[in-house]
Amino acid sequence: MGTNQSPPNPVIISLALFMTIYVMSPTWSRIYSEAIEPYNKGTIDQTVALDKAVTPFRDFMLTYTREKDLALFLEFAKLKDVTDIKKVPIWVIVPAFMISELKTAFQIGFLLFIPFVVVDLIVSNILLSLGMFMLSPVMISLPFKILLFVLTDGWNLIIRGLLSGYQ
């Protein structure tokens, strides 16, 4: 957008933290009911509890990992002959999930960047046509970009897009 620290990083981190809690709460509830509760009651031992706790995380990550990314890490782990996806080790799934999420984040960032570049280009062209080439286009375009973000309800659109990816 061109705003240096608006919103501040602690606000962005808090938003990411609470969205993570929101998205992951069904998985954590499943872990609690299937692994932690039986372990606390003494009906299962620690090894079984750990296996049961990893399963929901594995299922969640496998659901949202691109096959191409998983295949990449399977290839480099020399595990090409894996036929059952449930037998893929967690240490292969985690980095594949991370790069899948990074790709999605870059796609979202690029889609957010395009309208703001268009606003910058329009303002720059108008300033150049008026002969104001010494005036920084950012000074003029920043209020328009903020106005565009507010009028389109940008936060709602961003959060809706992020959460719809996890349904």
pLDDT for 127-146, tens place per residue? 888 888 788 888 888 888 88
SS (H, E, C) 55-116: HHHHHHHHHCCCHHHHHHHHHHCCCCCCCCHHHCCHHHHHHHHHHHHHHHHHHHHHHHHHHH
pLDDT for 2-45, tens place per residue? 566 678 888 889 999 999 999 999 999 999 999 999 999 999 99
pLDDT for 143-159, tens place per residue? 888 888 899 898 898 89
pLDDT for 97-116, tens place per residue? 999 999 988 998 898 889 88
Q: pLDDT value at position 23?
A: 93
Q: How far apart are CA 141 and CA 119, in angstroms?
A: 7
- In which band, very low, low, confident or very high, does the pLDDT at 1 lie, cut at 50, 70 and 90? low
Amino acid at 73: F
Q: pLDDT value at position 50?
A: 93
pLDDT for 85-102, tens place per residue? 888 889 999 999 999 999
Please tell me the pTM assigned to this model: 0.80
DSSP letter assigned to residue 87: G
pLDDT for 46-76, tens place per residue? 999 999 999 999 999 999 999 999 989 988 8
